[in-house]
Structure 1
């Protein structure tokens, strides 16, 4: 899985949580999210820039040859496109349409 796909999974799960929170009397403001991945950097002549980062599982194939893995830590601060914080909360506040890249829920 590419690093961008891993971050997209987190985005999708936040949007799903916001939709599931609709109608609740309790609201949570999503704060900073810290992610840490083990990534393998691969050189790829087909990719502009030449290097891609892939998230690796704990089950690295010993027969895959020499690879080098690195730990990458990211801190994400999810906000709506307007700059407002994302809420996982009561009905009417779970609309994710203002988030960049958000599709229909």
Structure 2
């Protein structure tokens, strides 16, 4: 399975937003600190005119195309901030889960 890097980050943003909205009235809130992603990616560039470079995030052994291409590992650190006030970190609320740090 492969997904474009921008789509993966968009899905992560949606999940964090869902978690924030689900617990806005909760007593316990968590500040979202840096989010680290370590990914295996395939870089693909088409030879067609006007083509762009695309970054595909792959699951090990799940994509035949990735198996024949050279994969790279990258590490991204994202620091979520509120769009309305970029100086504020996002807060996630909810009940404590066993083993949570």
Q: The TM-score by the shorter chain falls in which range?
A: 0.7 to 0.9
> 1:2-81, aligned counterparts within 5 Å?
2-45=4-47, 50-62=52-64, 66-81=68-83
Q: Separation in 2 of the partners of 1:87 and 1:23?
A: 11
C-alpha deviation, 1:46, in angstroms: 5.2
Q: Which residue of 2 aligns with 1:89?
A: 93
SS in 1 for 2:68: coil
How many residue pairs match? The answer is: 90
Q: Separation in 2 of the partners of 1:18 and 1:4?
A: 21
Structure having the higher strand fraction is: 2
Over aligned residues, Cα RMSD in angstroms? 2.4
Question: TM-score, with normalisation over the residues of structure 1?
Answer: 0.73
